[in-house]
Chain A
């Protein structure tokens, strides 16, 4: 057996300040403490300040996260920027108060109780919200397709599924997966995290690799659940089209889309549910388990047995984030309920 020959010759770089030879991976000179990437750090700090001036939290996070990779972790600068990143991340993780133009939960109840006119008004408002969503997020969906690896791997996946199920269902299936992945991308962009473009693998689905670590458990949960939330929106859209058109095609896509997203909610390995559970404290984990068990009782859906067993295992383990994350719990529970109900929907022609 042979091993790669170790490099024994010095292959270091010179410190721009004192000229001492330093290791290639070093970010500061051990002799004079000069920061090797000082120029880039100043540019990043400037970019973060510009983003702050225009109120762009994601832009600030993006710049400061890159800066952290160019600083020694023991340095005061690293600690200051880390704290800043955590503060900014929390400001995005915590649910913001509902904008004045949108009705709060209590208002919505009043609208529902206000008769046909109010119901129609609510419907219009919902369509408006959907239109705004499509206009803002649609840009991101199109942007994702401009990435060569995404588009080409998507075509390859489409080809494989086409041979199995025909082009129509294959297209809907691939788009469902794509929307799920772009949910993650949208969340990562929001938190200023760098990641690869979605890559499709036929039979496996698709994946995105993060290039940086999330700063907080809450941030990881938002990114993890971003995919299933968008996936639920796609499955819900298919459901609405099925209700409108009565075409079995849309029912099949609803069922499949819901199944993909429910599968991803398993709190294990690197699935989305695992990222969500990292943010939950023990009580919240038991609540999530209870919701899963409740939906299993209601729907009898087999995937929920797996989600439930894994959730129990997670609940019995020590939760690293003792403070918990109520938003993640609400999102997780909401997804379990909605996706399980969508999966329960009968698909014509499918026993």
Chain B
């Protein structure tokens, strides 16, 4: 360790070729720094273009579908865990937010945005609220699907009404919603450059 020097980086026989993070090709001329990563000029232009374009209705539909599916999985998870372990773990609300947030983000190709944040939060809230339905059904005896639909406003108010009695449950639901919001947030794009990959000495 004593022979280490910190004046210049040692790269062995040949200095590593700087590759573009996007296309993985060696960067010959100028490059840009995009969120701390090097990108070639063509990839940087493509990133800028993709960031300006609106994802459109199809992407929103995909996000809605993926979010609904993730929400259903999350709701079922809460019930299953309670049935298996005998514990009603409110912390699963965080997992629901995580699942829905990730699903919506995946459906939008990692873009995120305010509209998707709102979608993910709404779906997470609904999934948490509906996770109590199986417990209510168990106590009610024979209840059909239409009864559940009719009771939707009551079901959607459950996280708040139950949360008033158990304030820390409200906190956990809040963290779950925050997870969904965080995962679907737009990624800020910080581009600097162009820089020269192998500039001549001044």
Contacts and interface: CB of A to CB of B under 8 A. Distances in A.
Contacts of B194: 10
Contacts of A77: 4-6, 9-10
Interface in B81-112: 81, 84-87, 89-91, 94-95, 98
Interface in A301-330: 302-303, 305-306, 309
A298 B85 CA distance: 15
A35 B199 contact: no
Nearest to B200: A31
A203 B16 contact: no
Interface residues of B, number: 60
B195 interface: yes
Contact of A10 (B172, B192, B198, B201): B192
A3 B6 contact: no
Interface string B167-202: 111111001000000000010111111111111111
B190 A7 contact: yes
B201 A12 contact: no
Contact of A18 (B4, B38, B202): B202
Given A19-B202, A77-B4, A33 B195 contact: no
B186 A21 contact: no
A302 B6 contact: no
Interface in A38-56: 38, 41-42, 45, 48-49
Nearest to B48: A6
Nearest to B8: A33
B166 to A, nearest CB: 8
Given A19-B202, A20-B202, A77-B6, A11 B192 contact: yes
Interface of B: 1-2, 4-12, 15-16, 18, 31, 33, 36, 38, 48, 51-52, 54, 81, 84-87, 89-91, 94-95, 98, 113-115, 166-172, 175, 186, 188-202
Interface of A: 1, 3-4, 6-12, 17-28, 30-35, 38, 41-42, 45, 48-49, 71-72, 74-77, 80-81, 84, 160-161, 163-164, 201-204, 263, 269, 302-303, 305-306, 309
